[in-house]
Structure 1
Amino acid sequence: MFALLISLLLVVAGCSDTVDSNSQENEKSSKESVLIFGRGADSFTMDPQNANEIETWRVTKNIYETLVEYEKDSTEVIPKLATDWSVSEDGKTWTFNLQEGIKFHDGTNFNADAVVYNFERMMDKEHPDRYGDFSVYRGMFNGFKGEGSMIEEINAVDENTVEFKLVEPQATFLANLGMHAFGIISPDAIKKYGEKINENPVGTGPFVFESWNPNDSVTLVKNKEYWLSEFPKLDKLIYKVIPDNSARLTALKNKEIDIMVSLNPSDLSSVESDENLQVALRPPLNVGYLTLNNTKAPFDNVKVRQAISHAINKKGIADAFFYGLAEPVKNMLPSDNWGYNDDIEEYEYDLEKAKSLLAEAGYPDGFELEFSITSNSRIYMQQPAKMAEAIKTDLEKIGIKVEIISFEWAAFIEQVRNARHSMGLIGWVGDNGDPDNFLYSTLSKNNAVIGSAQNNQMYMNGEVNDLLIEAKSTIDQQERTEIYKKAQQIIHDDAPNVPLVQVKEPVVSSTSVKNYYPHATGAENMYEVTIEN
């Protein structure tokens, strides 16, 4: 009778749970070590090679691995799937020795042939298993095979040695290989799933894909055969979408999730005083900016773009919406980056100057403007709707009538990558710490490609493009710095966009979470993380 009573009590307790029966709360109540990571938007795909946004890479970083990676507190390159490497005297041949005995999650072998297959799939538009646009490969290596690719060929020297031959030396080559987009996928899985590899990820990483419920959650489970046998520490890792920042914080306080990103900065002080929570600041390897579509009137007129630059109160935005966590910037680089040109004279907040420039451009009475934003918080803007309203107020002071149009994150990305916007509020999170990753990615005409535009301004300055390509192949850092400074001055004068702020994102977690370090690139490996249940 006593056993029956206990059984009934357990049933009642299960039925009274406020979360659905398949919820993460039930997951957390088990003996398994389960961590739930709360975020504001869903992943775009599960194929890292065809992604160009953090919400995808936040997940795939823990499924896939790259030949090299970065230190957990910097962008210094360290070994991963490659144990070591060497480069020829002319800088054009890189040889990588690979870890031995590693298997993909489907049981197939990781080896040099797998590396060759992955890179040929990315670089060769005629590859039989090529599904997607591979825009990050194009951006980082100057184009595809036969169209300017910096990688001429890649060969398997033997089972555990791979060789890259470059057209010319590339200063960014090694750092590029550590980027989230170059995770190595099981060739057998690509052949099995075809274009559905974007829903069925198979890598070598510490976690194995279990399920994806779009706009809700992605569930990963421990890779019990992981080649670093002491890791991962967690049994299960769940990425949970909670679009509203305040609701996400409430879920954290209620122990429904364990970590959250995109805290409203106004909540920071209360979080810091909560003994059950802890805060870590993500280093500011990012720039939030206004993208102006240079191919659409009136933004095809440089004076209009300069007028917009004078009309935005950057300091006011930083103070009002970031509570000391953001600094205004004048270039498309974080201000502590070695390539940053601090000699550039900022566009001062000057409404009279802005009005004068509009009049010179033929718009003395202003114009009407559609302003595209995402409803989802990002590393570089936790409150996009409020920021947009402040910018709208600034622009209306110089006669520009603004209509704000809000999109869910995936739809917004489609909007700007296809250059359907007039003006948009967006940002860039650095992938490898190099200035090339900011400047070439977002401002080279080679990346102004409809459908996958990283240069969503559609900015087409040939001189800037040539300088950015020159910087890629210049090995000496001081020489590269001077090239980047020259390019930034031209970009500043052309005003193709409006750099706004760089942001230290507060990431909040329960004090039961240990060994979690938010990485500057926006996505971190979770294999060392533990949680005390």
Structure 2
Amino acid sequence: MRKTNKVISTLFTAGLFATIHTTQAATKSLVFCSEGSPAGFDIAQYTSGTDNDAAEPIYNRLVEFERGQTQVVPALATRWEVSADGLTYTFHLREGVKFHTSKTFTPTRDLNADDVLFTFNRMLNKEHPFRVAYPTEFPYFTSMGLDKNIKAVEKTDAMTVTFTLNHVDAAFIQNIAMNFASILSAEYAAKLMASGNVRDINQAPIGTGPFVFQRYQKDSQIRYSANKQFWDPARVKVDQLIFAINTDASVRVQKLKKNECQVTSNPRPADVEALKADPQLRVIQKPGFNLGYIAYNVRHAPLDKLQVRQALDMAVDKKAIIDAVYQGAGQLAQNAMPPTQWSYDETVKDAPYNPEKARELLRAAGVKEGTELTLWAMPVQRPYNPNAKLMAQMLQADWAKVGIKATIVSYEWGEYLKRSKNGEHDISLIGWTGDNGDPDNWLGTLYSCASIGGNNYSMWCDEKYDALIKAAIATADKDQRIGLYKEAQHYLKQQVPITPVAHSTVSQPLRASVKGFEVSPFGRNNFSGVTLAD
């Protein structure tokens, strides 16, 4: 960890936590030890877990996932209907939903259809006035093809909104339950336009969620206060929610033990048993709906050659990596999504580990001994990769055995993601935790042509593959979808845009006093309905 981070950590412990403990005497505060700084709070712009966690307290969607589950339940829409042809979705909005009040904004009305239209039309239309004033991209929205498939978003009346699609999207309801579809205030956006402060939509967010954004200090803290006007009061059980940011997993664990935070993110596998033994703590463990993998940028030579990708793939000693990096909490991955995802094909298998064969393939591809490639290592811990630096060092050694010189590169997390999405890397360590329980969230979101610039870190675009996943999402027949997705899995495996490494068990440490916390199958930290025992 950089020295500057250590200084921040020391000052943070001495100053912020003294304030927190004083506050707790008068109010009920919950502190979450978070591992990274969000890039912003206009969540439609971002895809990482860090960004999603930071935005989650602020917003709601039309529909949402039940906490700790994968099923969709009503939220800002109380009910919806789907037309017989599967192309029209009609949502009936909840009455009396209040937007947050801040120092610079006081809403004059409740949520209505105009807010839904603003939220989605900004993503759909590059000429939307707000998007022209504040140019940005929406990687998740586009990577799932929603920018092409949503034909129109219209209001039937003040509290009814209709979405018309160009073709059937079997995962549409699951997709709009995700964070990128969080509903924004059209009234707030209009005020920002009038004042020339459009970027405040990202740094001074307004939503309808259970907590109101107060302030953010990068690499230090995010503060939220309880939304006393929240439409479901039972979900607001603490007065203050505080994200205490520290990139060092060992520091986060020590703060948890000292009750300086009550929930922490992503412990190191080596710390889990000691955490389980502490009577003041508990550790919730669940099979991870995740994948840690190596992404090869096929736009960079020599990775544009299939033989080269095959060689690097078979030169990876996965077993050694899983033993060292995951320390008992990882399962070997062979496919491009986890075995718990429906439509997973168990017949997809790895090429055998074979450094000698890898050398032969590299020679046949004309790759010279000592060829240099950059290998990007994530700066944060994730369940799908608890120690990217160590994994990178082991890959560096594996590939050195076959004549490839890998130079390890890293950046601050937000910068890492931004540069990776721009395709600046040769090879990157990355991963994914499923967001909605549908196979398209893996096979479409991560590897499709549309997801280049979003979550497709391999920059891989293949017409045959794309045709398979497009056909799969365009039918409601589950058996037909399974067949198409299985064919896509085999084809992707043959083309090697990625090397799957591991799926991991998720371990969630928290104080025994924390009540109501649910481990999300999608890897999110959600504090709606969470409280502390008296």
TM-score by length of 1: 0.92
In terms of mean alpha carbon deviation, does 308-317 or 237-246 score higher?
308-317
* Residue-by-residue CA offset, 1:111-169 (whole Å, 9 max, x unaligned): 122111211111111110123201111122x153xxxx211111111122111111121
Map 1:454-493 to 2 at 5 A: 454-493=455-494
> What is the identity percentage for the equivalent residue pairs of Structure 1 and Structure 2?
33
Aligned pair partner of 1:294 in 290, 295, 298? 298
Partner of 1:14: none
Partner of 1:117: 118
How many angstroms apart in 2 are the aligned matches of 1:507 and 1:298? 41
Preserved CA contact (<8 Å) 2:98 2:111: yes
How many angstroms apart in 1 are the aligned matches of 2:164 and 2:383? 36
Aligned pair partner of 2:88 in 85, 93, 98? 93
How many angstroms apart in 2 are the aligned matches of 1:83 and 1:74? 19
In terms of mean alpha carbon deviation, does 170-179 or 466-475 score higher?
466-475
Shift of the 392–509 alpha-carbon distance from structure 1 to 2, 3 Å rule, reads same
How many angstroms apart in 1 are the aligned matches of 2:76 and 2:447? 32
Aligned pair partner of 1:305 in 305, 309, 314? 309
Aligned pair partner of 2:280 in 256, 273, 276? 276
Query: Which amino acid letter does the alignment assign opposite residue 112 of structure 1?
Result: A
Preserved CA contact (<8 Å) 1:28 1:35: no
CA drift at 1:22: 7.3
How many angstroms apart in 2 are the aligned matches of 1:160 and 1:366? 64
* Pairwise CA RMSD: 1.8
How many angstroms apart in 2 are the aligned matches of 1:202 and 1:40? 24
Preserved CA contact (<8 Å) 2:222 2:243: yes
CA drift at 1:26: 3.5
* Residue-by-residue CA offset, 1:179-212 (whole Å, 9 max, x unaligned): 1111101112222331221001111110000001
Partner of 2:164: 165
CA drift at 1:238: 0.7
Is 1:443 aligned with 2:443? no
Preserved CA contact (<8 Å) 2:40 2:51: yes
In terms of mean alpha carbon deviation, does 357-366 or 151-160 score higher?
357-366
Preserved CA contact (<8 Å) 1:234 1:527: no
Query: Which amino acid letter does the alignment assign opposite residue 316 of structure 1?
Result: A
Is 1:47 aligned with 2:42? yes
Query: Which amino acid letter does the alignment assign opposite residue 39 of structure 2?
Result: F
How many angstroms apart in 2 are the aligned matches of 1:205 and 1:408? 29
CA drift at 1:374: 2.0
Map 1:125-140 to 2 at 5 A: 125-130=126-131, 131=134, 132-140=136-144
SS in 1 for 2:351: coil
How many angstroms apart in 2 are the aligned matches of 1:18 and 1:269? 25
SS in 2 for 1:316: helix
Partner of 1:8: none
How many angstroms apart in 1 are the aligned matches of 2:62 and 2:215? 26
Aligned pair partner of 2:271 in 251, 263, 267? 267
Partner of 1:176: 175
Partner of 1:105: 100
How many angstroms apart in 1 are the aligned matches of 2:16 and 2:360? 62
How many angstroms apart in 2 are the aligned matches of 1:206 and 1:160? 21
Preserved CA contact (<8 Å) 2:44 2:181: yes
How many angstroms apart in 1 are the aligned matches of 2:149 and 2:65? 22
CA drift at 1:230: 2.7
CA drift at 1:23: 4.9
Unaligned runs of 5+ in 2: 1-11, 102-106, 193-197
Preserved CA contact (<8 Å) 1:358 1:366: no
Preserved CA contact (<8 Å) 2:189 2:201: yes
TM-score by length of 2: 0.92
SS in 1 for 2:450: helix
Is 1:38 aligned with 2:33? yes
Preserved CA contact (<8 Å) 1:266 1:321: no
Aligned pair partner of 2:340 in 336, 340, 346? 336
Aligned pair partner of 1:59 in 46, 54, 58? 54
Query: Which amino acid letter does the alignment assign opposite residue 186 of structure 2?
Result: P
CA drift at 1:524: 3.8
Preserved CA contact (<8 Å) 1:513 1:529: yes
Preserved CA contact (<8 Å) 1:24 1:36: no
Unaligned runs of 5+ in 1: 1-16
Aligned pair partner of 2:246 in 242, 247, 269? 242
How many angstroms apart in 1 are the aligned matches of 2:48 and 2:331? 23
Partner of 1:81: 76
Partner of 1:5: none
Tell me the matched-pair count.
510
How many angstroms apart in 1 are the aligned matches of 2:374 and 2:235? 49
Query: Which amino acid letter does the alignment assign opposite residue 119 of structure 1?
Result: F
How many angstroms apart in 1 are the aligned matches of 2:447 and 2:400? 28
* Residue-by-residue CA offset, 1:27-50 (whole Å, 9 max, x unaligned): 554321111111211111101111
CA drift at 1:402: 1.7
Preserved CA contact (<8 Å) 2:17 2:260: no
Preserved CA contact (<8 Å) 2:118 2:184: no
Partner of 1:206: 210
How many angstroms apart in 2 are the aligned matches of 1:466 and 1:135? 20
Map 1:220-239 to 2 at 5 A: 220-239=224-243
Shift of the 311–89 alpha-carbon distance from structure 1 to 2, 3 Å rule, reads same
How many angstroms apart in 1 are the aligned matches of 2:43 and 2:110? 20
Shift of the 283–350 alpha-carbon distance from structure 1 to 2, 3 Å rule, reads same
CA drift at 1:300: 0.7
Query: Which amino acid letter does the alignment assign opposite residue 119 of structure 2?
Result: N
Shift of the 94–397 alpha-carbon distance from structure 1 to 2, 3 Å rule, reads same
Aligned pair partner of 2:374 in 370, 377, 385? 370
Partner of 1:3: none
How many angstroms apart in 2 are the aligned matches of 1:188 and 1:171? 32
Query: Which amino acid letter does the alignment assign opposite residue 49 of structure 2?
Result: I
Partner of 1:508: 509
Partner of 2:433: 429
How many angstroms apart in 2 are the aligned matches of 1:366 and 1:86? 60
